[in-house]
A and B are shown apart, each in its own frame.
Chain A
Amino acid sequence: MSVIYLDNNATTKVDPAVVEAIMPYLTEFYGNPSSMHTFGGQLGKAVRTAREQVAALLGADESEIVFTSCGTEGDNAAIRAALLAQPEKRHIITTQVEHPAVLNVCKQLETQGYTVTYLSVNRHGQLDLDELEASLTGNTALVTIMYANNETGTIFPIEEIGKRVKERGAIFHVDAVQAVGKIPLNMKTSTIDMLTMSGHKIHAPKGIGALYVRRGVRFRPLLIGGHQERGRRAGTENVPGIVGLGKAAELERLHIETAIKRETRLRDRLEQSLLAKIPDCEVNGDITQRLPNTTNIGFKYIEGEAILLLLNKYGICASSGSACTSGSLEPSHVLRAMGLPYTTLHGSIRFSLCRYTTEAQIDRVIEVMPEIVERLRALSPFKNDEAGWLQAQEQTLAHR
Chain B
Amino acid sequence: MWDYTDKVLELFYDPKNQGVIEDNGEPGVKVATGEVGSIACGDALRLHIKVQVESDQIVDARFQTFGCTSAIASSSALTEMVKGLTLDEALKVSNKDIADYLGGLPEAKMHCSVMGQEALEAAIYNYRGIPRAAHDDDDEGALVCTCFGVSENKVRRVVIENNLTTAEQVTNYIKAGGGCGSCLAKIDDIIKDVKEKNAVTNLNTKGVNLTKEIANSGQKRPLTNVQKIALIQKVLDEEVRPVLIADGGDVELYDVDGDIVKVVLQGACGSCSSSTATLKIAIEARLRDRINPSLVVEAV
Contact = CB atoms under 8 A, between A and B. Distances in A.
Interface in B1-41: 1, 12-13, 15, 18, 33, 35, 38-40
Given A329-B171, A393-B38, A306 B72 contact: yes
A73 interface: no
Contacts of A302: 66
Nearest to B35: A389
Contacts of B185: none
Contacts of A312: 1
Contacts of B63: 379
Interface string B40-66: 101111100000000000000001111
B39 A390 contact: yes
Nearest to A342: B39
Interface residues of A, number: 32
A-side interface mostly: helix
A306 B39 contact: no
Contacts of B148: 329
Contacts of A378: 18
B68 A397 contact: no
Given A303-B67, A322-B68, A397 B18 contact: no
B46 A381 contact: yes
A342 to B, nearest CB: 4
Contact of B67 (A306, A313, A390): A306
B145 to A, nearest CB: 10
Contacts of A314: none
A5 to B, nearest CB: 15
Contact of A382 (B12, B66, B175): B66
B103 interface: no
B12 A381 contact: no
A346 B38 CA distance: 11
Interface in B109-149: 109, 147-148
A379 B72 contact: yes
Interface in B230-272: none
A387 B68 CA distance: 22
Nearest to B179: A330
A381 B40 contact: no
Contacts of B178: 328-330
Given A329-B175, A378-B18, A305 B69 contact: yes
B42 A382 contact: no
B68 A303 contact: yes
Interface string A362-400: 000000000000000011111000010110011001000
A224 B69 CA distance: 46
A306 B69 contact: yes
A322 B64 CA distance: 19
Contact of B44 (A305, A324, A329, A381): A381
Contact of B42 (A313, A324, A393): A324
A327 interface: yes
A312 B12 CA distance: 13
Nearest to A313: B13
B108 interface: yes
B21 to A, nearest CB: 13
A389 to B, nearest CB: 6
Contacts of B68: 303-306, 322, 324
Contacts of B69: 305-306, 309, 324
A351 interface: no
A4 B43 CA distance: 29
A343 interface: yes
B39 A393 contact: yes
Nearest to A304: B68
Interface of A: 301-306, 309-310, 312-313, 322-324, 327-331, 342-343, 346, 378-382, 387, 389-390, 393-394, 397
Given A302-B66, A330-B178, A381-B46, 16 more contacts: A306-B68, A306-B69, A328-B178, A330-B147, A342-B40, A343-B39, A346-B42, A346-B66, A378-B18, A379-B66, A381-B44, A381-B64, A387-B33, A387-B46, A390-B39, A393-B39
7 contacts: A306-B72, A324-B42, A329-B148, A342-B42, A379-B65, A380-B65, A389-B46
6 tightest A-B CB contacts, nearest first: A329-B178, A324-B68, A381-B64, A305-B68, A381-B46, A342-B39
